[in-house]
Amino acid sequence: MESGVGIQHFMILSTLMFFIGVYGFLTRKNLITILLSVELILNSVNINFVAFNKFLYPENLGGHFFAMFVIAVAATEVSVAIAIIISLYRKLKMIDVENVNEMKY
C-alpha cells in the first residue's frame, strides 16, 4: 500500500463528491445535469464501499461486489432516466426541471 494515502483521504474525497452531487441536484435546472449529480452521489458511495473493504476487511470482497451492483443499478437507472428526459423533451421542447410540474396537487 502506498504510504501517506489512508482511509481518511478516501472519506474526504467521497464526502466532497457527495455534497457536490447534492448541491448540483438542488441547484441545476437542466435535467441532464441533475442526472450527472445523481451519478456523482452514487459514485461517492462506491468509493466508500471499496475503501472500507480495502482498509477494514481486506480478506473479504463484499464491498467490491456491492460497488459492482451499484454500478449496474446506476446504469439501468440512467437508461430509464434518459428515456424519460427524451420523452419530456419531445413533449415540452425543453428539459428545464421547473417546467416539469405535472404531478402537483
Partner 1 sequence: MENFLYTLIIPVILFFSFIFTGLSGNKFKPAVSGIICTATVFISAALSYWTAYQYFFLHGKVNGVYQIINVYKIEWLKFNETLSIDIGILLDPISVMMMVVITTVSLMVHIYSIGYMKGDSGYSRYFAFLSLFTFAMLGLVLSVNIFMTYMFWELVGISSYLLIGHYYNKPSAVSASKKAFIVTRFADLGFLIGILLLSAFAGTFDFNELTNPNGNAILQSASTTFMGLSAISWALILIFIGCAGKSAMFPLHIWLPDAMEGPTPVSALIHAATMVVAGVYLIARLFPLYVFTSPVALEVVAHVGAFTSLFAAIIACTQTDIKRVLAFSTISQIGYMMVSLGVSGYGAEEGLGYMASMFHLFTHAFFKALLFLGAGSIIHAIHTNEIYSMGNLRKYMPLTHITFLTACLAIAGIPPLSGFFSKDEMLVAVMEKNIFLFAVQYVVAGITAFYMFRLYFTVFWNKDKKYEHVPHESPNVMLITLIFLAVCSALAGLIPFSQFVSSNGVPFSTHIHMNIAIPVVGIALAGILLAYALYKKESLSPEKIKNSLGVFYRSAYRKFYIDEIYIFVTKKIIFNLISVPVAWFDRHVVDNTMNGIAYTTNFVSEKIKYMQSGQLQQYAFIMVAGMILIFLLTLYLIIV
> What does the binding site for partner 1 look like in residue numbers (CB under 8 A)?
22, 25-27, 97-98, 100-105
In the bound complex, what is the minimum distance in angstroms from residue 28's beta carbon to partner 1? Answer: 9
Nearer to partner 1, 38 or 67 (CB): 38
Spatial CB neighbours of 56, under 8 Å, sequence gap ≥ 6 = 7
Closest CB to partner 1 among 1 and 26?
A: 26
Q: Is 60 helix (H, G, I), strand (E, B) or coil?
A: coil
86 CA to centre of own chain: 20
Nearest to 35 by CA among 88, 78, 80, 66: 78
Task: Quote the least distance from Cβ 96 to partner 1, whole Å.
Answer: 11
Q: How far is the CB of 100 from partner 1 (least distance, A)?
A: 7
Q: Which is nearer to partner 1, 5 or 94 (CB)?
A: 94
Nine-digit cell string for 53:
473493504
Number of neighbours of residue 68 by Cβ within 10 angstroms: 13
Minimum gap (Å) between residue 1 Cβ and partner 1? 31
